[in-house]
């Protein structure tokens, strides 16, 4: 069998969520690259999988990726897992996938558990259009801009201890914006708390959630049909900048950064057409 990389998502909490294909891939692989060998061994022991493990984490990712690509070029099959969920989604793996593709090796991605998708569906917020932000910014200004930006449903990871402050910022921007705090998904103490930003900010004000958290935030006011006819904040300032000679796209970006709005919406409101170059 020719060398290749098999990307294997693992359970995000409940070990029974591993797929039969993932177990077969782990059994057949010459080596399994994983973040924490002890955590992966717990999963493998549960299903009687005897596999050779090597550590692959953020501190050795580049060097270990080169080593694993070399193994694959010699015909070995490498399976990649993270501690939970799909590798590369806010987890190590990018260097290895990129290296395998650059070397002309096959990369097979198996479907499986994902905290992002589980939280999106459980939130009861629109899932036809959504965006994933990874971990939310830590700096106050960047966090405010990320939460204020108009757009589809936002899914993001957040530290439990930062949840109260993040919800407080969201409530300051738009107290009625719908959101959901999803914690310990698929685990014994799974909890999904839904409500307006102000309700959730009050709920978690003095009691940060425990465990792993995924935050799902609905559309900002004006992002959907309800506010589509209202001009975005900063439009008049944008017009003045353009009249003074500024390029529309650049000026829209600057105004959006100052107002916490959407550069794309400002640009469209100015030009009267779809997003484009300036």
Q: CA-CA distance, 200 to 168, in Å (whole number)? A: 9
For residue 192, what pLDDT is reported?
Answer: 97
Q: CA-CA distance, 163 to 200, in Å (whole number)? A: 10
pLDDT tens, N- to C-terminus, the chain (278 residues): 589 999 999 999 999 999 999 999 999 999 999 999 999 999 999 999 999 999 999 899 999 999 999 999 999 999 999 999 999 999 999 999 999 999 999 999 999 999 999 999 999 999 999 999 999 999 988 999 899 887 899 999 999 999 999 999 999 999 999 999 999 999 999 999 999 999 999 999 999 999 999 999 998 765 544 444 556 778 888 998 999 999 998 988 888 877 766 777 788 888 875 544 43
CATH topology of domain 4-109: Cobalt-precorrin-4 Transmethylase; domain 1 (3.40.1010)
CATH topology of domain 115-221: 3.30.950
For residue 260, what pLDDT is reported?
Answer: 66
The structural domains of the chain, with segments of one domain joined by +, span: 4-109, 115-221, 231-271
Residues β-bridged to residue 239: none
Side-by-side strand order, sheet with 191-196: 130-135, 153-158, 213-217, 178-183, 191-196
This prediction has a pTM of: 0.75
């Amino acid at each position: 069998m020719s060398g290749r990389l098999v990307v294997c998502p693992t359970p995000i909490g409940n070990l029974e969520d591993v797929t039969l294909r993932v177990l077969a891939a782990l059994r057949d692989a010459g080596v399994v690259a994983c973040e924490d060998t002890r955590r992966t061994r717990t999963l493998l022991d549960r299903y009687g999988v005897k596999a050779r493990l090597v550590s692959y984490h953020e501190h050795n990712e580049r060097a270990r990726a080169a080593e694993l690509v070399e193994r694959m070029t010699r015909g070995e099959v490498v399976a990649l897992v993270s501690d939970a969920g799909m590798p590369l989604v806010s987890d190590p793996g990018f260097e290895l996938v990129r290296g395998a593709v650059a070397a002309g090796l096959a990369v097979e991605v198996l479907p499986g558990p994902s905290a992002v998708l589980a939280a999106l569906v459980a939130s009861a917020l629109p899932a036809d259009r959504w965006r994933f932000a990874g971990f939310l910014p830590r700096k106050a200004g960047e966090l405010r801009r990320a939460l204020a930006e108009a757009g589809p449903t936002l899914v993001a990871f957040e530290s439990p201890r930062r949840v109260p402050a993040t919800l407080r910022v969201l409530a300051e921007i738009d107290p009625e914006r719908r959101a959901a705090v999803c914690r310990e998904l698929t685990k014994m103490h799974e909890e999904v708390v839904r409500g307006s930003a102000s309700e959730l900010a009050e709920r978690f004000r003095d009691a940060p959630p425990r465990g792993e958290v995924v935050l799902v935030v609905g559309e900002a006011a004006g992002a959907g049909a309800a506010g589509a006819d209202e001009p975005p904040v900063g439009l008049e300032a944008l017009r003045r900048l353009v009249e003074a000679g500024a390029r529309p796209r650049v000026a829209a970006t600057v105004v959006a950064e100052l107002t916490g709005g959407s550069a794309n919406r400002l640009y469209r409101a100015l030009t009267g057409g779809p997003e484009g170059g300036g």
